[in-house]
Amino acid sequence: MARRSLFSKPLMLLISRLHFYVGLLVGPFILVAALSGIAYVISPALEAWVYQDALQGTQQGDVQPLSAQIAAAQDYLDSASPDAVRPAPEPGDTTRIMFSDPVLGPSQHNAVFVDPVTLNITGEAKVYGTSGILPLRTQIDLFHRQLLLGDTGRLYSELAASWLWVMALGGIVLWLNRRHALKAKQGPRRLAKRHATLGVVLTAGLLLFSATGLTWSQWAGGNIAELRHAWGWNTPSVSTDLAAGDTTPQDEHAEHRGHAQTANTQAPAVYLITFDHALHAARQAGLEADRLQITPPASPDQAWRVAEIDRRWPTQVDEVALHPRTMAVIDRTDFATFPLAAKLTRWGIDLHMGVLFGTINQLVLGVLAAGIVVLVVWGYTLWWRRVSRSSGHRFPTVSEPWALLPPGTKLGLVGVALALGMALPVLGVSLALFACIDALRWAAIKRRQSMCIRPNTPR
């Protein structure tokens, strides 16, 4: 007895051909994103090796006050108060002191690394974003996100993320419909079975990459941010406004996107000893993470901000705002009190970046990205074999099964496409272009066919 298909034959044919052609056209973008993602996953280890002289300090000895470490950095640069300070998290690490510089680009700081025991300057480097990544990792990060082409280049990663989930779900539908036929494939046809099976195994990872990648995107990311704001899913952050004392939304993507505190010429003079007081007050307030960032007031009406920046499990992103004169806590946010949606967003972003579970997270992401590379390569191999077997025959269009669909199904699919196009503009525009090109191909094919079967007219 024949097995019943999940959908009608024309609809399954439409899904199959759309999966094929979208994979053919978007595959290169997904491949570049996966390969650069592998490079980003291993970049922390590369960073630790390349910049080991700057990042490693004295293992044993008495740690000097934070104010003394900052003074050493100021003497080295002959600079004013720092924009932010990250005390050495563990014995043998260095303290990172970040200064603004007018010659640097947006979201960049000049970081000086100080041995907290000897007060020796171990290095100096340009750091990027609130994550403070070093130059090598910065270039890998920028290439992964926008091919070093600025905002224009971000279209590539948004295109890949917009279609990745469609490809994954479409592959699942095709596998469910053909799984019994795939089991019987032997010889050269086994590659299709392997391609389908690997896609099913990687589905959860593909959906995670797509969803979290879209939140960073230029167009879809803005729509997602507006939706989260409308539904009250924003991640809370402390307010450093001395007159407000309420929470304001936080950008969870700042670590990967590159947003950071900009230089403020109106920043008040800060006594270095106050950094010691701020660190002590934050510890007394319950900030227990090894990795902290201390940010002095940017203006006279602003408070100090001390934040946990250790994203390993369990997530530590608590923050406190401290009064500049009394060091009393005037506002705080605790991750334990975040809305569930904000927690899931934070975890998803940290998973995507490979920091939530440390090395284990990075290994899993590397395997997933390598799996995506294999999927794309196998997909193009299947396409090449199809070209070789075609012997000059045309490739079928998507418009053919579309024409066979009932009007109600067409109307429903058009409604879904319009909704997705509004939410994910890059997907919508690329789908419209694809539909136009495919329709023109179909019209040309029908015209050639009609000319071939036209009867000869008598002379």
DSSP labels, 370-390: HHHHHHHHHHHHHHHHHHHHH
Contacts (Cβ under 8 Å, ≥6 apart) of 404 = 10, 13
- The domain ranges of the chain are 9-42+148-217+359-446, 47-62+89-145, 237-353
Task: Write down the pLDDT at residue 125.
Answer: 95
Provide the 3-class DSSP secondary structure of residue 304.
strand
pTM of the model as a whole: 0.88
Sheet strands (E) in 309-453: 319-322, 329-333
Both structure tokens of 80: 């004013």
Give the model's pLDDT for residue 3: 58
Amino acid at 312: R
397, 391 contact by CB (below 8 A) = no
Q: Nearest-CA neighbor of 368 among 198, 244, 128? A: 198
Look-up: residue for tokens 């506002």? Answer: 331
Long-range contacts of 320-325 (CB under 8 A, 24+ apart): 320/238, 320/281, 320/282, 320/285, 320/287, 321/238, 321/239, 321/240, 322/278, 322/281, 322/282, 323/242, 324/242, 324/268, 324/274, 324/297
Q: What does the pLDDT read at residue 4? A: 62
Measured CA distances, 434 to 24, 149, 397 (Å): 12, 25, 11
Maximum Cα interatomic distance, the chain, rounded to a whole number of Å:
107
Q: The tokens of 28 are what?
A: 């290169």
Q: Report how far apart the first and last C-alpha atoms of the chain are (Å, whole number).
A: 55
Q: In Å, what is the CA distance from 288 to each residue of 208, 276, 314?
A: 30, 16, 12
pLDDT, tens digit only, all 459 positions of the chain: 455 666 789 999 999 999 999 999 999 999 999 999 999 999 999 999 999 999 999 999 999 999 999 999 999 998 778 999 999 999 999 999 999 888 888 888 999 999 999 999 999 999 987 778 999 999 999 999 999 999 999 999 999 999 999 999 999 999 999 887 777 767 667 899 999 999 999 999 999 999 999 998 999 999 999 988 888 788 888 999 997 544 445 555 555 544 444 444 456 778 899 999 999 999 999 999 999 999 999 899 999 999 999 888 778 899 999 999 999 999 999 999 998 888 988 899 899 988 888 889 999 999 999 999 999 999 999 998 888 776 555 678 999 999 999 999 999 999 999 999 999 999 999 999 999 999 999 998 888 878 876 655 554
| C-alpha R_g of the chain | 28
Q: Is 39 exposed, middle or buried (0-12, 13-18, 19+ CB in 10 A)?
A: middle
